[in-house]
């Protein structure tokens, strides 16, 4: 085994044995990963056979990370069919072995990650992409605190996957969610049992869920995660939170979705990332008496502004993602920044000088959290080392200025990502090629079906 990613901590046999001693009723352990689309995939092992996972890993094909949202392997960059779909060795991630409290039987899950170079670079695993970019900060002696916020919709359970979604019906009132009652407490109470189970299940899974709030549309909610100084775990938590929410929704007779824009006339769902940086003496380098933060914070913003459009395919990974970027929806329509301003892409929240941070507001809720955080860190890194100065900050409504350079289609984002020297440097030539080809083929598949509007418009021609 060749472990190349020094930021990755793997679970030991002792961790597994201790878990089994404390949970003697466990029947199976799910070895899982979060794929490009955020869909959980894996293998279910009888607990009496799971020991080998913690000794020698498990064989799993590389292409598991390169499936489209339907689960089909599009042979991205010749990975899948053309190469005979070879296996890689996956190992369990330290600290991720936990019970699955939503399941009817006593089951557990553990995250797995590729740590193998037998045929291809294990950079194909987005968790390793993040680990490699994080290593770039070692020479700068800088460390992070990171927290994710995820918005999502709760739907009435559909009869089939082709049925259009409808807002969920409260079991307390027997009424369907309606209206825009942002931060409404009544809306939280109407779905209290569901949200309380999400909270309890997160505790059991060591996911640091905190504030829950109702959002700007019927059946839309947001759950925040507490900050952590473990960057990889922050992304793990975001990926696993989505599984908790989806499984808990099923348990309560609902469906949950992180799709950016399920309703054309309602607000979209975003993935907001809060990030601050500390030096070796644990001083926040963004700290300043100025509301807009320090000079170092400005350089970080400069890097984000310069690289955001190159990275847009990460933040907005599918056709639907681009419906979210509309004026006056508290969603960015340019790469502006500013203090205490939700109309910008990079907000500096109010707070103590010592807790100064950047809130990155660009990504859709369905984006891959490992890749989103990779793109953010890469932008900040180049901003700091090149001391890139940002534009003037905004305290007005930045949504009045639609930036014509901002990508508005997947096709444009693919072109920018694929041709970006910055992305090739930070993500690697290999990953840029694979990810771009995957998205091209996903788009080809999307356009291979006839939509309802084509029949509406053209059938009688």
pLDDT of residue 180: 60
pLDDT of residue 4: 57
Q: Which helix (H) or strand (E) holds 130?
A: helix 126-135
pLDDT of residue 1: 44
- Which tokens is 334 given? 């340019």
Could you give the CA distance from residue 222 to residue 240 in angstroms, rounded to a whole number?
15
44 Cβ contact partners less than 8 Å away, ≥ 6 residues apart: 28, 29, 30, 31, 107
Q: In this structure, how many other beta carbons lie within 10 angstroms of the beta carbon of residue 211?
A: 10
Domain with CATH 3.10.20.70 in the chain: 13-122
Could you give the CA distance from residue 372 to residue 33 in angstroms, rounded to a whole number?
16
DSSP 9: P
| Cβ pair 151, 365 in contact under 8 A | yes
Our separate counts of H helices and E strands in the chain read: 13, 14
Specify which residues 107 forms β-bridges with: 28
Q: Which of 398-428 are b and which e, b meaning 16 or more Cβ less than 10 Å from the residue's Cβ?
A: bbeeeeeebbbebebbbebbbebebbbebbb
pLDDT of residue 168: 84
| Cβ pair 204, 240 in contact under 8 A | no
Could you give the CA distance from residue 258 to residue 365 in angstroms, rounded to a whole number?
5
pLDDT of residue 319: 96
Is the four-CA dihedral 8, 366, 304, 423 of positive or negative sign?
A: positive
Strands (E), 97-185: 98-99, 107-114, 143-156
Nearest alpha-carbon partner for 213 in 197, 195, 228: 195
Could you give the CA distance from residue 91 to residue 77 in angstroms, rounded to a whole number?
25
Could you give the CA distance from residue 129 to residue 327 in angstroms, rounded to a whole number?
33
Annotation: CATH topology of 13-122 = Ubiquitin-like (UB roll) (3.10.20)
231 Cβ contact partners less than 8 Å away, ≥ 6 residues apart: 7, 130, 134, 144, 146, 373, 377
Nearest alpha-carbon partner for 117 in 5, 32, 236: 5
Specify which residues 273 forms β-bridges with: 148, 360
pLDDT of residue 439: 97
Instruction: Quote the distance between the C-alpha of residue 435 and its chain's center.
Output: 16
| Cβ pair 220, 153 in contact under 8 A | yes
What 3-state class would DSSP assign to 303? helix
| Cβ pair 106, 26 in contact under 8 A | yes
Q: Output the CATH code of domain 138-451.
A: 3.30.590.10
Q: In this structure, how many other beta carbons lie within 10 angstroms of the beta carbon of residue 229?
A: 13
Q: Which helix (H) or strand (E) holds 346?
A: strand 346-348
pLDDT of residue 388: 98
Q: Could you report the per-residue pLDDT of 81-91, keeping only the tens digit for each? A: 999 999 999 99
Could you give the CA distance from residue 151 to residue 267 in angstroms, rounded to a whole number?
11
Q: What is the dihedral of CA 23, 25, 31, 35, to 10 degrees?
A: -90
First to last CA, the chain: 62
Of the CA atoms within 13 Å of residue 458, those in its CB half-sphere come to 6
pLDDT of residue 162: 84
Low-confidence ranges of the chain (pLDDT < 50): 1-2
pLDDT of residue 182: 54
Domain with CATH 3.30.590.10 in the chain: 138-451
Could you give the CA distance from residue 212 to residue 214 in angstroms, rounded to a whole number?
7
Predicted model pTM: 0.95
Could you give the CA distance from residue 231 to residue 136 in angstroms, rounded to a whole number?
13
Strand 337-339 to 28-34 pairing: unpaired
What 3-state class would DSSP assign to 186? helix
| Cβ pair 271, 343 in contact under 8 A | no
| Cβ pair 77, 433 in contact under 8 A | yes
Could you tell me how many residues make up the chain? Answer: 461
């Amino acid at each position: 085994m060749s472990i190349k990613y020094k930021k990755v901590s793997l679970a030991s046999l002792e961790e597994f044995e201790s878990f089994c001693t404390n949970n003697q009723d466990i029947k199976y352990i799910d070895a899982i990963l979060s794929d490009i689309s955020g869909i959980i995939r894996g293998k279910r092992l009888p607990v009496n056979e799971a020991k080998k996972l913690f000794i020698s890993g498990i064989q799993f094909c590389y292409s598991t990370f390169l499936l489209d949202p339907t689960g089909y392997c599009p042979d991205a960059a010749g990975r899948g069919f053309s190469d005979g779909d070879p296996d890689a060795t996956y190992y369990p991630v330290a600290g991720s072995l936990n019970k699955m409290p939503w399941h009817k039987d006593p089951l557990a899950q553990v995250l797995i990650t590729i740590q193998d170079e037998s045929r291809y670079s294990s950079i194909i695993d987005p968790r390793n992409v993040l680990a490699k970019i994080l290593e770039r900060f070692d020479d700068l002696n800088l460390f992070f605190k990171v927290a994710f916020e995820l918005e999502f919709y709760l739907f009435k359970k559909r009869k089939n996957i082709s049925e259009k979604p409808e807002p969920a019906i409260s079991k307390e009132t027997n009424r369907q969610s309606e209206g825009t009652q942002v931060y409404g407490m009544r809306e939280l109470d109407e779905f209290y049992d569901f949200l309380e189970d999400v909270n309890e299940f997160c505790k059991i899974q060591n996911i640091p869920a905190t504030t829950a709030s109702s959002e700007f549309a019927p059946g839309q909610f947001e759950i925040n995660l507490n900050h952590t100084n473990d960057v990889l775990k922050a992304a793990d938590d975001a990926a696993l939170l989505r599984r908790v929410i989806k499984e808990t929704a099923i348990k309560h007779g609902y469906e949950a979705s992180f799709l950016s824009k399920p309703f054309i006339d309602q607000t979209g769902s975003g993935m907001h990332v809060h990030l601050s940086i500390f030096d070796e003496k644990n001083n926040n380098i963004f700290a300043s008496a100025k509301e807009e933060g320090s000079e170092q914070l400005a350089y970080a913003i400069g890097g984000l502004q310069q690289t955001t459009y190159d990275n847009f395919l990460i933040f907005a990974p599918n056709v639907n993602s681009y419906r979210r970027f509309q004026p006056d929806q508290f969603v960015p329509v340019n790469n502006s920044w500013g203090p205490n301003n939700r109309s910008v892409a990079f907000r500096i929240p109010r707070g103590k000088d010592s807790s100064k941070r950047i809130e990155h507001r660009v990504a859709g809720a369905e984006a891959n959290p490992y890749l989103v955080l990779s793109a953010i860190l890469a932008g900040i890194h180049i901003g700091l080392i090149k001391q890139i100065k940002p534009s003037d900050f905004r305290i007005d409504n930045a949504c009045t200025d639609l930036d014509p350079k901002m990508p508005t289609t997947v096709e444009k984002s693919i072109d920018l990502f694929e041709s970006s020297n910055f992305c090739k440097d930070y993500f690697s030539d290999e990953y840029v090629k694979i990810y771009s080809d995957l998205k091209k083929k996903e788009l080809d598949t999307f356009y291979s079906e006839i939509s309802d509007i084509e029949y509406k418009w053209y059938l009688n021609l």
